[in-house]
Amino acid sequence: MKISTITNLAYAVTLLLTALSGIAFIASDRMAAAERRSVEVHLALTDLGEQLEIDAELRTDEARLYVMRGDPAHLAVFERVNEEEHRLEDLARRAGDLGASGEELELLKRITGTIDRLEGVETGAVEAYRAGNAETAREVLFGDEHYSQHVRLVGDVERFRAMVDRRTGLELQKAQIWADWLGLIARVLLASTAVVFLAVLYFVLRRRVSVPLTQMTGIVKRLATQDFAVEVPHDGRSDEIGELTAAIRIFRENGLERERLDAERRRDLKMKDLILQMMHRMQACQRVPEIAEVVGRFLPQIFPELGGALFVRNEANTLVTRVGAWKLPEDMVASFDPEECWGLRRGQPHHSTSKRDDVDCQHLAQASDSVLCIPLSAHGDTLGLLSFADVSGNPASIREYKAYLGMIGENVALAVANLQLRERLTRLAVRDPLTGLLNRRSLDEALATWAGDDAEGEPEPELTCFVIDIDHFKRFNDEFGHDAGDTVLQTVAGILSEIVGERGVCYRFGGEEFAVLLPQVSLQEGHRIAELIRTRTATLTLSHAGRILGTVTVSIGIADNREGRTVRTVRGRADAALFEAKASGRNRTVSDGEMPRPHGEA
């Protein structure tokens, strides 16, 4: 066989193998794109399902709170959440645009149908409450029909998440398998190309082929091991060797591009995984500083080139205070006026750079030449600010991550809003709104907890209990009006809080009655504190709306759990001592120990 024939055949085989390897690399890259699409579809659909469930639960809670308390604020929140739920339902109906399958669309249709039925039940209950049928409204909202619909909604959402996880997981696994197989095929083709070249080297002329191939063999071997750092020499000849050199150069460039794309894909997947981990941690946070700690731990891992800080505004919206920071100067501003940040002014992300393409935010002017401020907004309220500053000297890094940073800002805002909402609901549940003291429910829970401490047979910790009643309180309401009575209650509550301080806990027991629990305080010391409360109240002259209310006095009953008595009876005994104090003329303190006890009382 002639050398020219061998050379031509080798050339044809080389072109074929090179083309196939290029096709394999391109197909592998497309598989990587398919992986990214699967992850994006998974995130979008699971977030949609979770938000539908969360908003439905929040709407139910607000409807129940409204028919239980009659507070218009709960009705306003109910209507606002209902509008957001409608928006999400519209998005669910168009979930096919997000990549949902037909089966998933059917399940979403069922979920939205259940949500609509819940809405109808809850709206009917609200209308019944407005019409004066409060009992009917409560029976509807806490009835079996509403509960079964809610259970069905939770189950359908869970099935939807599982369905999305299963489908996108299979798609992602399939794309990964194809990418691995295509990469293997590309490497096999590359190795085959090297073998062909080595075989031709034996038959061609040394002057025209041997020396160039000797050089190219080393290059091909390195490329076969994916060492794309090797340099391919430029050969200006127009013969087969020149074409081969050009093909190898293209292959190397393709390999470099594949490595870059693989590195970008790995970085992107790692970034998304860290973001998901951060979001999961934020959902488990109990306080805003915990959110700041989670953000401060994960964001430096996700964006090493960026420093940043988390700021939260106060309730009066007059100050924004830093609750966490990372990779920024220690002397950076700790708090500032919201008007100093253009992001908070505009309600949109604002990017300040050293080129002064736009107006600058003053609160982080010294942190970096490139600063991005993302306002934290949720449920129509601006809660704070998430600021990012470039610390790598590459201002383009912020623009590169801007979409991710905006998504993180939205999730941080939702986490902060949920915590603040939970804190407000907790305060409403355990605090008396007029005096700010803990309510009777809190008192019952505290006594139950205290009484439960002896479950293991250990002795109960010492506890002293006051029950305090304002003498002739009805006179203030009848003579001066209920606003004056509220002033008296607030004043007495303030005296209790001031005198008791950190030594115990104060409660508004009900009406004009208060209670105080003093752990680890002797009966003598408790009597001294009670007398201090009584005398301080009696020496205080109150006025309201320009009218003198006169002197306010209180009667106090004291009991403890010493000498064989128990916590379970301490409040009743203190109440009996109070009754004795009022029967003895009021404005006095009577201890349970000063009263005769029936035989066998503990």
pLDDT at 558: 94
Q: Is 423 a catalytic residue?
A: no
- Looking at residue 445, what is its pLDDT? 87
DSSP element (H, E) containing 19: helix 3-69
pLDDT value at residue 600: 40
Out of 3.40.1080.10, 1.20.120.1730, 1.10.600.10, 3.20.20.70, the CATH code matching 35-177 is 1.20.120.1730
Show the low-confidence residues of the chain (pLDDT under 70): 1-7, 10, 25, 28, 32, 35, 197-213, 215, 223, 226-229, 233-241, 331, 356, 362-368, 395-396, 427, 453-458, 594-602
The span from the CA of 404 to the CA of 267, in Å, is 13
Query: Could you give the 3-state DSSP secondary structure of residue 590?
Result: strand
Alpha-helical (H) ranges within 481-594 are 482-500, 523-538, 570-583
Residues in Cβ contact with 552 at an 8 Å cutoff, skipping those fewer than 6 apart: 470, 471, 488, 491, 492, 537, 538, 540, 542
Range(s) within the chain of domains with CATH label 3.30.70.270:
440-594
Q: What are the Cα distances from residue 55, in Å, to 47, 62, 112, 362?
A: 12, 10, 12, 37
The pair of structure tokens assigned to 279 is 């979001």
- How much is the pLDDT for 467? 95
Q: How far from chain centre, in Å, is Cα 168? A: 25
The secondary structure element, H or E, covering residue 600 is none
State the Cα–Cα distance between residues 404 and 178, nearest whole angstrom: 28
pLDDT value at position 240?
Answer: 67
Residue spans in the chain of domains classed CATH 3.30.450.40: 286-422
Whether this model's pTM surpasses 0.85 = no
Delimit the CATH 1.20.120.1730 region(s) of the chain. Answer: 35-177
Residue 598: predicted pLDDT: 44
Instruction: Specify the pLDDT at position 518.
Output: 93
pLDDT at 280: 87
Out of 3.30.450.40, 3.40.50.2000, 3.40.50.300, 3.10.20.30, the CATH code matching 286-422 is 3.30.450.40
Report domain 440-594's class. alpha beta
Long-range contacts, 401-406 (Cβ 8 Å, 24+):
401/303, 401/306, 402/349, 402/351, 402/372, 404/271, 404/275, 404/302, 404/303, 405/303, 405/349, 405/372, 405/374, 406/349, 406/374
DSSP state of 437: S
- Given 240, 264, 512, 601, which residue is catalytic? 512
Rg of the chain over all Cα atoms, to the nearest angstrom: 37
Distance of CA 113 to the CA centre of its chain: 28
Distance CA 452, CA 449 (A): 5
What is the helix (H) or strand (E) element at residue 96, kind and residue range? none
Nearest to 602 by CA among 571, 556, 568, 576: 568
Residue 287 has what pLDDT?
Answer: 84
Tens of pLDDT, residues 435-446? 888 888 888 888
